[in-house]
Amino acid sequence: MVKSKKTIKESKKTDTQTDPSCIVVFGAAGYVGRMLCDQFCSAPSVKEIIAIDRLPMPDILKRKKKITWIEADLSQDDWHGKLIGKEPEIAIHTAWDFEKGGDEIKNLNASEKIFEFCFNRPSINKIIYLSSILPYGATSDNNRDRMFSEGEILRENEYSYAVNKKEVESLLARQYSGSNRTKNVFVLRPGIIYGPMGASIPSFREPLLKILDSLPYFFKPDNDYGLQYVHEDDLVDLNAVLVFNKVPFKGYEVFNVVTSKPLDSSEIAVFLKKQIVDIPYFLVRLFFTTFGARYSEELTQKGVWKYLYYPVFADGSKLVKKLKFEFIYSTKEVAMGECGRYSHLAPKKEEGAETKE
């Protein structure tokens, strides 16, 4: 297994290891995509990483000689021609357009074109899609005794980000069902992804973190609220396990990717450096409806308020049982955003500032 404190190159080769020479990463300029490109360049077997994004190459990747950068809108068709003659063995879909109005059309169109490319390209034997735990849905009956497992129905039908993630999963499942089923497909449903890289690029943060950062207070729900996280290094390492190892199963697999212990309301407020305001849910809804647009455009989206009031807890035990995967970082270490491979990128603390426990 690839350990979080090491690069791919430094990790010990095992009998179950595979040697892909070409990997294609969709959404390579994004938060997770850039880390995958950066780390996988260190793998000795990798000769080329085809990195595709509508944005320019991030500075962190500019000296990586193994990267072939393709700047293209994945929701259009022009990028297909740029891959003629390329024979990637692994495809990783991390692309997501967070711009207002781009979610419903661009993300679905892009995902459809990505999956069509993957299933029609004989050289590709593994497909990894980065989803989310949010499509399970935030409802009043959610609590720590109800941890969603991978086989449960994705219930969200209002908040566009979660609905779109659910729809892309459905699209992937349909395309897999209609294929010859010779490719391994892995759907990863992480909690909130964070770490020093994430802290250094606030514009790429997950929607819920952006909203919570923008609010003047942390509105404490009168229920068992909490947030589940996963460290950016742990997520990259999980991808490495799937990419560079012969997994002990074949077909279509879904994994919740979350640390075992969620942050509770008081801990969230501490890490966000927000004053806690304890109010009932109808006042939370009223506040978001009346003043939400002042703080974040995301708050104007239908159903998003539920995710700031009702928790979504996922059961991550399948990952441990089937892959023997162990998380390096605790939930609190993730939320601090200071430790990990990219600790040198973490924003400097103000002099005298301390993180409360």
The string of DSSP letters for 140-198 reads TT--TT-PBPTTS-----S-HHHHHHHHHHHHHHHHHHTS-S-SEEEEEEESEEESHHH
Higher-scoring residue by pLDDT: 206, 169: 169
Provide the mean pLDDT of the chain.
90
Interval 248-273: pLDDT, tens:
889 999 999 999 899 999 999 999 99
Assess whether pLDDT exceeds 90 at residue 220: no
pLDDT of residue 279: 79
pLDDT of residue 103: 57
Q: Half-sphere exposure (CA, 13 Å, Cβ side) for 87?
A: 5
Would residue 342 be called left, alpha or beta, if left means φ above 0 and alpha means ψ between -120 and 50 degrees? Answer: alpha
Beta bridge partners of 185: 127, 252
pLDDT of residue 10: 43
Mean pLDDT score, 326-342:
96
How do 217-220 and 275-278 pair as beta strands? parallel
Assess whether pLDDT exceeds 60 at residue 354: no
Interval 100-157: pLDDT, tens:
655 578 899 999 999 999 999 999 999 999 999 999 999 999 999 889 999 999 999 9
CB 11 within 8 A of CB 2: yes
For residue 226, name the pLDDT band (cuts at 50, 70, 90): very high
Question: Edge-to-edge strands of the sheet including 48-53?
Answer: 67-71, 48-53, 22-26, 90-93, 126-130, 184-190, 252-257
5, burial (CB in 10 Å: exposed 0-12, middle 13-18, buried 19+)? exposed
8, burial (CB in 10 Å: exposed 0-12, middle 13-18, buried 19+)? buried
Fold of domain 22-197+228-261+313-329? Rossmann fold (3.40.50)
CB 64 within 8 A of CB 32: no
**Quick one: which of 237, 229, 228, 161 has its CA closest to 195?**
229
Residue boundaries of the structural domains of the chain: 22-197+228-261+313-329
For residue 16, name the pLDDT band (cuts at 50, 70, 90): low
